[in-house]
Each structure stands twice: as structure tokens, then as C-alpha cells.
Amino acid sequence: MKKTSRRLQELQKKVESRPYQPLEALNLLKETATAKFPESAEAHIRLGIDPKYSDQQLRTTVVLPKGTGQTIRVAVIARGEKVTEATNAGADIAGSEDLINEIQQGMMDFDLLIATPDMMPQVAKLGKLLGPRGLMPSPKGGTVTFDLPQAIAEFKAGKLEFRADRTGIVHVMFGKSSFPAEDLLINLKALQETIDRNRPSGAKGRYWRSVFVAATMGPSIEVDINALRDMKVGEAA
């Protein structure tokens, strides 16, 4: 059993075992973010899917309107003029075979890797290194593209890739606990709408099972799924 710290035990007493209205849950998340570092706001969403079937997998991207609160270091693997284009568009690292070799030797100074389609056959050999870290470029994730300026701009502004894990749970960071609760709500609403829009074709029965939010080191707080889904974007503002 994992030992619960006294700090967390005290915070758990503030959380009732019931679904909270979305804004109420996010105010409580902020109140329970008491760690000594800037905590992220995390969502843990259980869906009625079994990702071992190809038509029940969820992997997509969301643009968080209020940003992530993080500085994203973007690396780009491209060829020729596209390398210069990536650098001019704000990529932190850009290169071709030279960058692939550096990554093979253990260089991982980036949070996101974008590749042009013509480089993917060579990027494929990095699969064992990048796959476990969730850094492998993919067309579904918007990280395999020739339109480098747009991709770099979107990911730097708050676009995130996410997927359901093998148990059908989506774990997503959707801002910082220091954000106003209203901004967190706008981001959470964008996430919910994206998950609904990308419902896998094989998902049967009840799609949404539960939604919990938490600060990085805080207790889990259940969110009323129906209240979140029924909310209009204007109401979240």
C-alpha cells in the first residue's frame, strides 16, 4: 500500500465523496493545490471503451483555449529548406539525419517531436526510444506534417496530444492550478467536447463513466459528467 502523506490526508477531508458541479470542483482543486511547486491541473477520464480493439481506440489532439501554462520545447526532423523553415517558425531544435543520430545517442531535450512525412521511414527506427515516452510523431496526433509553421504555433499555444490508455482511461494535463477556475473550466470543456467529437466507432453503451480532476499532488475530485457535457461554452467563460 502506498503511504498517504499527512498533508494529503488533511486535503482529502475537504473532498466529499460525490460528483461536484464543474466550477465547484475546479475551485476545490485550486484550494487543495498546496505543494511547494506550481502544480498542474489534471483530468482522469474513464471511458466505456476497450482499446485492445482497433475501433475502440482514442488518440487525438485538443487545443486548450487558455493554454497549458507550460513552455513546450519542440524538436523537428525535416529535410533541406524545411529545417530552416522550422527554426524560423520557432522550433527549439531542428535537423535531419544528424538529429536522428543525436536522439539515438540519448539526446532528449524536447517535449514534442514533429516530423515531415518524407522523414518518417528514418524516424521509425527511433520507435523503441520515443514510443515509451509518448514522443513518436503520428499523423493522428498532428505531429507528422509538411505544414511546420502551423504545427509549431499550435503546439506552443496550447495544443496537446492525448490517448486513452489500455484500460480506457484518459489522463490529461489541462492547465496549471494557478489558473483562474473559469479558465480551467474553459479548457476542461474543450477537452470534453474533443473526446465526444472523436468517439470511437466501436464504443458501445455508456461512453462516459467518470471524470475526476486533481492538482498534481492533490486529492481526486469527482466532476458531474452530465453538468459538464450540458454546459454551453458561453457559460464556461
- Looking at per-residue confidence, does 234 or 154 come out higher? 154
The arithmetic mean of pLDDT across residues 89-100, rounded, is: 96
Cβ distance 96 to 79 under 8 Å? Answer: yes
Q: pLDDT digits over 44-81, tens only?
A: 999 999 999 999 999 999 999 999 988 889 999 999 99
Of the candidates 187, 185, 221, the one whose C-alpha atom is nearest the C-alpha of residue 8 is 221
Task: Report the pLDDT value the prediction gives residue 2, as an integer from 0 to 100.
Answer: 56
Does the pLDDT of residue 99 top 90, yes or no? Answer: yes
Give the tens place of pLDDT for each residue, 119-142: 999 999 999 999 888 899 999 889
pLDDT at 4: 67
% the chain with pLDDT above 70:
96
Give the model confidence (pLDDT) of 137-150 as tens digits.
999 889 999 999 99
What residues pair up with 232 in beta bridges, in sequence order? none
Q: Rounded mean pLDDT of 175-181?
A: 95
Residues 142 and 159: beta-carbon distance below 8 Å: yes
Q: What is the DSSP string of 209-234?
A: EEEEEEETTS--EEE-HHHHHH--HH
Torsion of the alpha carbons at 113, 118, 124 and 129, rounded to the nearest 10: -20
| Helical segments of 143-197, H only | 148-157, 181-197
CB neighbourhood size of 145 (10 A):
16
Q: What is the mean pLDDT of the chain?
A: 92
Q: What angle do CA 200, 205, 208 make, to 5 degrees?
A: 70
- pLDDT of residue 9 exceeding 90: no
Q: What is the 3-state secondary structure (H, E, C) of 11-25?
A: HHCCCCCCCECHHHH
How far does Cα 13 stand from its chain's mean position?
Answer: 29
Q: Does the pLDDT value for residue 113 go beyond 60? A: yes
Cell numbers at residue 57, please? 481506440
The mean pLDDT value for 23-49 works out to 94
